[in-house]
Structures are given as C-alpha cells and as structure tokens.
Amino acid sequence: MSTSNRPAVLDLIGQTPLVEVTRFDTGPCRLFLKLESQNPGGSIKDRIGLAMIEAAEKDGRLKPGGTVVEATAGNTGLGLALVSRAKGYRVVLVVPDKMSQEKVLHLKAMGAIVHLTRSDVGKGHPEYYQDMAARLAGDIDGAFFADQFNNPANPWAHETSTGPEIWAQMSHDVDAIVVGVGSAGTISGLTRFFRTAQPDLRFVLADPVGSVLAEYTRTGQVGVAGSWAVEGIGEDFVPAIADLSAVVEAYSIGDEESFASARELLRREGILGGSSTGTLFSAALRWCRAQTEPKRVVSFVCDTGTRYLSKVYDDQWMLDQGLLKRTVFGDLRDVIARRAADGNLVTVAPTDTLLAAFQRMKLADVSQLPVIEDGRLVGVIDESDLLLRVGADAGRFHDLVTAGMTASPETLLPSASIGRLEEVLDRGLVAIIADDAGFHGLITRSDLLNHLRRTLT
Ligand SMILES: Cc1ncc(COP(=O)(O)O)c(C=O)c1O
C-alpha cells in the first residue's frame, strides 16, 4: 500500500509517455503518440476505472465488499477489474462476443465474472451488452453500475489527467488531437480541458466505417450503423456524454486500413498498439498530410497490441477475415485457408511421431494435417486416425505418422466444382486439392463456411 492507503499499483495509472512518429510521412506536421498502452492495465481505460470507482466511493454508491458492474468492450473492464481487485471489490462484466480472447482471458485471470453477450444486436435488444449490464446491476445487492456511457467521472478523468498531461508534454504547443470515440469520455474530457487551455485546438475524429459518429459530426444526422472489427471505438448511437463540438474533421477508416496501419506502426516504429490504434494512426496521417502549414499533432495508442496477437498480428486470422490480400484464382484454391503457395501450410512428415502430429494440430487449431515427404503429399492424418491408433494404448503416440495416416487419399483438381467439393465434405472427408503442379492445400467444412462468409458484402 502507498501512504494514501491506496494500493501502489494504482499510482502507476496515467503519466504515460509521449513519443514522436519519425519513420512515416507526416506531411508538414509533427505527430506524437501518447502511449496509453503503458498503463498498468494496458489501456487508456485504467484512468476512468480509477476515477469512476473513487467517485462512487466518495459519494457512497460503492461500499466495502460491494460489486462493480459494467458493460464493456474489454478495456474498461480491465481498468475496473484492476482497481476493484486492488481495493477488494467484486467485478461483474458484460462483454460483447466480438472481443478478443486475450481480453476475456485477462479479465477472468483478474477474478472478474464475465458474461459474454451478442455483439450483433443493438440498443433495446435484451442481449444488448449495456441493457444486460443495467439489468444485472439491478439484480445484485450492493452493486455499483459504473455505466461509463453516462458517468460524469469518465470525461472528468480525461479533463483532469489526460488533458493536462498532453498540455505539459507538448510544452503548451499543440494544434490538433486525433481521437476515437467509444463512450466519448476521452473526447469530451479533452474538449473541456482545452476549451480553457487552448480554445482553438482542433479535434479530428477517427471513426470505423460502419459507426454513425463521423457522419453525425458532419451532418448532425444519426444514420444506420453497419458492423466493424476494430475494438473499442465507433458506435451505433451518440453517447449521452459526447461533446463533439470541437471536431473539425472526421475520417471513416475501414477495418482493412486500420489493421494494416497498426501492423505498419509496429514494423516501422516498434510501437505495439491495438486495432483502434490503427484507425487513429491512419486518420492522423491523413490529416497531417492534408495540411499546408506545420502543425503539432497528438494521437493515442489506446491499448496494447499484446491483447490482439491472435487477431491483428496473426496472418492466418487476417486472411480468414479477408483483411489481408492474397491471390485470387477463381477456383477451389480460393477456398483453401492455409495455402501451400502462401507458405502457411502446417504439415507433418511420415517420419514424425503421432505425438508430434497431435501437438502440431493443437498448436495450429486444426483437426487434420497433410503428410508431406520431399515436397509431395503422401497422406493425410486427422484426429480420428490418431484416436484409432492410440485409443487403446497411449504408448502408441510414439508410433510414426506413416503408421496412422491415410495414404494416397483421393484428391480434387482446383478446377472441380463447389458441388464436387460439397460431395467430398458430405462424406465426412477433408478435400485435398492437388494437380500436376503439386499439392495446394486442404479444404474442411469450416474453410468452406469461412469462404462463403467472406463473399458476404
Ligand atoms: C481501444 C479504445 N478504447 C477506448 C477509446 C476511447 O474511447 P472513449 O470514447 O470511451 O473515451 C479509444 C480511443 O481511441 C480506444 O482506441
């Protein structure tokens, strides 16, 4: 405990570093990123986790032994869980199911009780995450519903910490801030702080394509929301606490650009941010490059990219989502998830053990592997082959793959029809795509479903 009786880790929230972008074309501008990823819970939301809990303690809404309840895309939950657990409160969180597995695992590891709910339903639906959290809070004795979307301590945290820090770190010389909006706490708090500190400071909104906010800042109209994969920013409504009055420009950034931008930021600058960092960074670069006069611009790395390693930074996930470009052949090779030609095939050799085959399947999260010898396909091994072999005697895990695989399996040409592919899959088999040029890859039912989903517009 620190001297204030507040757990010392909470004193590490805020005072995050500001770093200049040096390896991108920023036009006539200098662009600085505030690394909110360096907060102890890994995101900008630690600030509001602390502010909302301490405000509730002060006015008696949260008492010793109480429960903190929230609807959260993950980061607010992590911030609240960090503060709650340090101070001895229970935490119950409602999280939409599009959120990354890393966030959910992290929440559970901190002792939070997590209710996953649908991310494809809007306000008013009983499974909408905010409505569900409000209901849960009503049902739990001693519950405090943090309600970041309506809680004044949310923008207040940014008005009294994020804003003054930027102002000091930029030596009172800043022209624009590029920001995303989730609950609108950041933009509203910063707007309030800079209205006094520097009234002509401009705000640039970075919004995912599909969110209604960019259009709202331009026209005052709330359109029909779409969907997007970037986490933490963008809304299908205008949050009650939103003050968007200082926004001079809004950019709608598509998922593909956001994800590519986050990856590029890591490659060139060594800064590991989450998916929304890509959205903000893209918007910041666009705005900077459009300027004709030098400007000093600040944006954010709102959370750490470590919680998106299985998404933004996983090539296979990016390919599955259609977020990384790959060659289109116009035949069954387009349905293969892991193509030999792309170099991301997971294989096994006939001389490997069944144990090695099983471990490789687990690691790659697949149920079968092609067996390759000297660059040629010689068989396929799947979970049923393994079970058949080791079911009665686990010692047989040490047998060689050659003993358990299906040798010389039936293959399909890339030019075969989807109907032929479905026939093979209907027989419970995996389809093997090969021709004179060699083995191209396997197609499972899940690959076909994923391919069909990618064709959705
Ligand atoms: C991951 C993430 N969470 C939250 C925010 C800010 O959201 P809010 O409007 O809730 O302050 C951002 C802003 O860029 C973000 O990237």
Domains of the chain plus CATH, in order, are 8-42+176-308 (3.40.50.1100), 45-145 (3.40.50.1100), 330-454 (3.10.580.10)
Atom of ligand 1 nearest to the CA of 300: 14
For residue 257 the two structure tokens come to 């650009």
**CA–centroid distance, residue 219 to ligand 1 (Å):** 22
Atom of ligand 1 nearest to the CA of 184: 9
Assess whether the C-beta atom of 129 lies below 6 angstroms from ligand 1.
no
Beta bridge partners of 238: none
For residue 390 the two structure tokens come to 């080791």
Q: Which residues of 21-57 are buried (b: 16+ CB within 10 A; e: fewer)?
A: beebebbebbbbbbbbbbbbbbbbbbbbbbbbbbbbb
Per-residue pLDDT of the chain (457 residues; tens, 9 = 90+): 444 568 899 999 999 999 999 999 999 999 999 999 999 999 999 999 999 999 999 999 999 999 999 988 689 999 999 999 999 999 999 988 877 788 889 999 999 999 999 888 877 888 898 899 999 999 999 999 999 999 999 999 999 999 999 999 999 999 999 999 999 999 999 999 999 999 999 999 999 999 999 999 999 999 999 989 999 999 988 999 999 999 999 999 999 999 999 999 999 999 999 999 999 999 999 999 999 999 999 999 999 999 999 899 998 889 888 898 888 999 999 999 899 888 878 999 999 999 999 999 998 889 999 999 988 899 999 999 999 999 999 999 999 999 999 887 779 999 999 999 999 999 988 899 999 888 999 999 999 998 998 877 6
Looking only at the bridges linking them, the beta strands covering 431-435 and 438-443 are antiparallel
Q: What is the pTM of this model?
A: 0.86
Q: What are residue 195's phi and psi, to 5 degrees?
A: -60, -35
CB atoms within 10 A of CB 378: 18
Assess whether the C-beta atom of 305 lies below 6 angstroms from ligand 1.
no
What's residue 3's pLDDT? 47
Question: How far apart (Å, rounded) are the C-alpha atoms in residues 403 and 65?
Answer: 60
Pocket test for ligand 1, best of 44, 207, 217 (most atoms within 8 A of CB): 44
Atom of ligand 1 nearest to the CA of 274: 1
What are the catalytic residues? 45, 276
Question: How far apart (Å, rounded) are the C-alpha atoms in residues 139 and 52?
Answer: 21
Pocket test for ligand 1, best of 181, 207, 213, 259 (most atoms within 8 A of CB): 181
Assess whether the C-beta atom of 181 lies below 6 angstroms from ligand 1.
yes
Using an 8 Å Cβ cutoff, are 265 and 278 in contact?
Answer: yes
340: which residues sit within 8 A by CB, 6+ positions away?
438, 439, 440, 441
219: which residues sit within 8 A by CB, 6+ positions away?
none
Q: What are residue 50's phi and psi, to 5 degrees?
A: -65, -45
Q: What are residue 327's phi and psi, to 5 degrees?
A: -60, 135
